[in-house]
């Protein structure tokens, strides 16, 4: 199994190209199930989660071709992928596939909207929390779907004439349930109004793509989304938006090590709150023609308190990385996680590097230390593992991160991007 070896202490200087967003690419790919025409997605990151979803969609009958010639984009490769689902050949998403990646549960929306039925395995819990699917079920029931849960599967059927548009207000903000209800409602009879919808940029990206396919969606990016059902959707060509979590992660890495890096092909507006927190921690952040420049020279890291929240709040997907940064702040900071109940698994691993962190309920208290010391650590989930990389970049000596398959789920060519900026990071295969 691969491991990542980091020898800390180098500042980061150079250019890091930002990839297309994993969390936008996944729902966009699933949207290809809504049409018998070709959906072409540009700027798709090359990640384990994307490859897994390609397998899942293939199972439902989506014909997928990846552009042989990879389009060059800075140092990264952004792929263009064509998805064509002439016929849905299977409306079942089996446990073996859904259990590997929670987002594959989202096929329930398009399958139900296009075929009138879907049998999708419950995703089960995962390392960061129980993550139930009650909001998906309640929302689809509001669109008149009949739902039964049996043997670990959700069996959903639409009325004979198809799903029926309705008004549904989410009792809690959910990115996935907003994606699914929005996709399902595009082909429903009549108009659907989703209240308390997720405002994440990835939701707006999906809505924009669906509109390019002929859907009639308004209000994306706000908490009320209106979807006027249409009879069918066509193909489209759409570019996946930049990965704001990858952007924030590298910005925090620079704030941690010091240095001067341009994050290319990204957009400050996607992560205002996180960038503001990094600024308060002592980095200078400015907009450039091609992206964002992050600089930290001289001044030490200042402690900053944050609370995670749905967009536009501080993203839970950057919480672990920010904690990595705060381990070396000059003072004490507090980080409160409000989205997932078990997203502090990086705490114990950061402690192995010398961090001083104590937990009280959903709040971590981080007492900054003047130095971290490299150690063997274990990745536990995608974002937790990259927080160990950030800490390892600033630690003295060698940090060896095992279970890097977590990193490969969401960070494209991580070691290459960091190495080009002067870091000592390499993949070690056993
Ligand atoms: C998306 O997950 C992201 N995944 C997550 O990123 C991200 O952490 C999360 O949104 C929050 O921003 C993708 O986009 C593929 P939610 P999702 O439904 O949609 C509860 C990463 O590292 N909830 O917004 O699954 C849920 O348990 C991943 O890239 C219910 O109670 O998250 C959580 O507490 C990890 N019932 C909260 O809502 C439901 O039916 C928000 O979850 C659904 C969710």
pLDDT digits (tens, 9 = 90+) for 225-242: 999 999 999 999 999 999
Q: Which is nearest to 356 in space by CA: 328, 335, 337? A: 328
Residues in the chain: 430
Ligand 1 center to residue 175 CA distance, Å?
Answer: 6
Quick check: 221 and 388 in contact, CB under 8 A? no
Ligand 1 center to residue 133 CA distance, Å?
Answer: 10
In this structure, what are the phi and psi dihedrals at residue 38, rounded to the nearest 5 degrees? -90, 130
- pLDDT (0 to 100) of residue 125: 55
Print burial letters for 334-367: b (CB count within 10 Å at least 16), e (below 16): ebbbbbbeebbbbbebbebbbbebeeeebebebe
Question: Which residue's C-alpha comes closest to atom 43 of ligand 1?
Answer: 133
Q: Which is nearest to 227 in space by CA: 427, 34, 33, 30? A: 34
Ligand 1 center to residue 210 CA distance, Å?
Answer: 21
- pLDDT (0 to 100) of residue 126: 58
Query: What count of other Cβ atoms lies within 10 Å of the Cβ of residue 199?
Result: 21
Identify the segments of the chain with pLDDT beneath 50.
Answer: 69-76
- pLDDT (0 to 100) of residue 76: 44
Sign of the alpha-carbon torsion through 81, 87, 90, 92: positive
Residues whose beta carbon lies within 6 Å of some atom of ligand 1: 23, 26, 102-103, 129, 131-136, 172, 174-177, 316-317, 339-340, 382-383, 410
Please report the atom of ligand 1 found closest to the CA of residue 198.
24
Mutate to test the pocket of ligand 1, among 50, 108, 174, 382 (most ligand atoms within 8 A of CB): 174
- pLDDT (0 to 100) of residue 62: 97
Question: Which residue's C-alpha comes closest to atom 7 of ligand 1?
Answer: 317
Q: Which is nearest to 177 in space by CA: 100, 108, 97? A: 108
Q: What angle do CA 3, 24, 389 make, to 5 degrees?
A: 25
pLDDT digits (tens, 9 = 90+) for 369-418: 999 999 999 988 899 999 999 999 999 999 999 988 889 999 999 999 99
Question: Which residue's C-alpha comes closest to atom 30 of ligand 1?
Answer: 132
Q: Which residues pair with 333 in a beta bridge?
A: 366
Our answer to whether residue 126 is catalytic in this structure is yes
């Amino acid at each position: 199994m691969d491991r990542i070896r980091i020898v800390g202490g180098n500042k980061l200087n150079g250019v890091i190209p930002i990839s297309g967003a994993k969390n936008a690419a996944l729902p966009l790919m699933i949207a290809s199930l809504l049409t018998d025409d070709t959906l072409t997605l540009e700027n798709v990151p090359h990640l384990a989660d994307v490859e897994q979803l390609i397998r899942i969609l293939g199972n439902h009958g989506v014909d997928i071709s990846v552009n042989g010639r990879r389009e060059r984009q800075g140092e990264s490769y952004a792929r263009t992928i064509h998805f064509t689902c002439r016929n849905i050949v299977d409306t079942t998403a089996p446990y073996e596939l859904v259990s590997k990646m929670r987002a594959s549960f989202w096929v329930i929306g398009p399958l139900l909207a296009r075929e009138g039925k879907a049998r999708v395995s419950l995703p089960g819990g995962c390392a960061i929390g129980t993550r139930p699917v009650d909001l998906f079920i309640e929302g689809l029931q509001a669109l008149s779907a009949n739902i039964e849960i049996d043997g670990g599967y959700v069996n959903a059927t639409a009325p004979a004439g198809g799903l029926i548009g309705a008004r549904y207000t989410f009792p809690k903000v959910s990115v996935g349930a907003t994606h699914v209800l929005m996709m399902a409602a595009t082909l429903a009879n009549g108009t659907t109004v989703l209240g308390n919808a997720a405002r994440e940029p990835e939701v707006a990206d999906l809505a924009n793509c669906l509109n390019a396919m002929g859907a009639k969606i308004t209000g994306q990016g706000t908490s009320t989304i209106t979807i006027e059902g249409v009879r069918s959707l066509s193909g489209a060509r759409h570019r996946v938006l930049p990965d704001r979590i990858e952007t924030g992660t590298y910005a925090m890495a620079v704030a941690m090590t010091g240095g001067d890096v341009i994050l290319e092909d990204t957009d400050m507006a996607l992560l205002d709150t996180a960038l503001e927190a990094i600024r308060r921690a002592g980095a200078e952040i400015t907009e450039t023609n091609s992206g964002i420049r992050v600089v930290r020279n001289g001044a030490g890291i200042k402690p900053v308190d944050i609370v995670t929240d749905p967009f536009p709040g501080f993203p839970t997907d950057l919480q672990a990385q920010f904690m990595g940064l705060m381990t070396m702040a000059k003072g004490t900071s507090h980080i409160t996680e409000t989205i997932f109940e078990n997203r502090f698994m990086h705490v114990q691993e950061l402690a192995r590097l010398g961090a001083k962190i104590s937990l009280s309920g959903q709040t971590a208290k981080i007492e900054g230390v003047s130095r971290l010391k490299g150690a063997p650590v274990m990745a536990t989930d995608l974002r937790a593992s990259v927080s160990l990389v950030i800490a390892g970049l600033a630690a003295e000596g060698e940090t060896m991160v095992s279970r890097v398959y977590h990193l490969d789920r969401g960070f494209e060519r991580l070691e290459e991007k960091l190495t080009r900026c002067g870091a000592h990071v390499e993949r070690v295969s056993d």
